[in-house]
Amino acid sequence: MDKSKKKKEFLDLMDKNQRMIHHICRAYSNNDDDYQDLFQDILLQLWKSFESFNNLSKFSTWMYRVSLNTAISTIRKAKNNITHVELDKVHGLSSEPEKDIDADVKLLYQAIARLGKIDKAIILLYLEEKSYDEIADILGISNSNAGVRINRAKSKLEKMLQPYFT
């Protein structure tokens, strides 16, 4: 495939699937600068890895795996552990296509940011309505383990958010 066709295919796929990158960036960053940096890091890694995509899985599965691994690696490199984000600290995401996210959704993503790395990934995939099989495939865990981890992460979120909705 020549470079222009490859570039067009990549841009088309990014256009169709960019929402999932925004969700990952929202969950793994705690300010606009980190969000923008992470978004760029993920896009760069996806572009670098695009030739290695071999259609053995769905594109979205491959994209999620690369995006999550990039987010986790970027955070690890920066030693920027954001598990202590205050729930009432709302940050704007100006480049976000969904600019006008209501307060409850912002609160949810702030709570997700407080989860561990794997729990964040699982909840993001769950919110994207991925099946247990897809979640297990993306994260390299068993189907039953995916179900257990989803339930545990949901329980953690419920406990974190309960004071705001009682």
pLDDT tens, residue by residue, 90-122: 343 334 444 445 778 888 888 998 998 889 989
* Parent domain of 148: 3-164
Structural domain tally of the chain? 1
Give the span between the Cα atoms of 93 and 90, in whole angstroms.
10
Beta carbons of 135 and 146 less than 8 angstroms apart: yes
Give the span between the Cα atoms of 126 and 64, in whole angstroms.
12
- pLDDT tens digit sequence for 130-164: 889 988 888 888 999 999 999 999 999 999 998 88
Over residues 73-102, mean pLDDT: 52
Global pTM? 0.66
Contacts of 87 (CB under 8 A, 6+ apart): 107, 110, 111, 114, 160, 161, 164
